[in-house]
Amino acid sequence: MSRIGKSPIEIPAGVTISVDKGNVVTVKGPKGELTERIDPDLEVKIEDGVLTLVRPTEQQRHRAMHGLYRTLIDNMVKGVTEGIVKELELIGVGYRVSNKGNLLELSIGYSHPVLFYIPDEIKLFTEMKKGTPPYIKLEGIDKQLVGQVAAKIRSFRKPEPYKGKGIRYKGEVLRRKVGKVAG
């Protein structure tokens, strides 16, 4: 039984949620607007500022979709009210980061700089301060898009377990390995 799907979603002040024909949920808030097509079997009920999803049967598929779409709608509500933020830091000697608009330029130990264009829906901030590692901050309203872009940036140089060099999420704990032991 999906406990996640049964929990209601509180609709904050300033947010409007509408359900169109074909089960297209539109969430409008102070930061923007997001839409998501949900499974046609599920029913969306909005009463007294609370949104709940109702599934028709207890089939495995309906239980899975119930929790999935409840979480997607909740992420949409959080995105249009607070926004979604992902922060990355570059750990390594000589690693640099800069941006010109939405074009991210990374110097991460390759013979060439890595250029990556960030979608227009996401705001990009980079920072290089003395004494702290280079820093990338991604802000947007779509949790899936922000997470996907952050994962793509991280994939350019994943943190390695011996020295810890690479691109990692801020606050990410890395399991370190012991290197060779001299005989």
What pLDDT is recorded for position 183?
61
pTM above 0.85, yes or no: yes
Q: Which CATH architecture has domain 3-81?
A: Alpha-Beta Complex (3.90)
For the cut 90, the answer to whether the pLDDT of residue 6 exceeds it is no
CB < 8 Å & 24+ apart, contacts of 22-28: 25/73, 25/76, 27/73, 27/76, 27/77, 27/80, 28/80
What pLDDT is recorded for position 2?
56
From CA 81, how far away is CA 137, in angstroms rounded? 18
CATH 3.90.930.12 domain locations along the chain: 3-81, 84-169
Instruction: Classify domain 84-169 by CATH number.
Output: 3.90.930.12
Environment class of residue 43 by beta-carbon count within 10 Å: exposed (0-12), middle (13-18) or buried (19+)?
Answer: middle
Q: Are 18 and 26 in contact (CB under 8 A)?
A: yes
Amino acid at 142: D
For the cut 80, the answer to whether the pLDDT of residue 166 exceeds it is yes
What pLDDT is recorded for position 1?
45
Q: What percent of the chain has pLDDT over 70?
A: 98
Residue 181: CA count within 13 A, CB half-sphere: 3
What pLDDT is recorded for position 180?
84
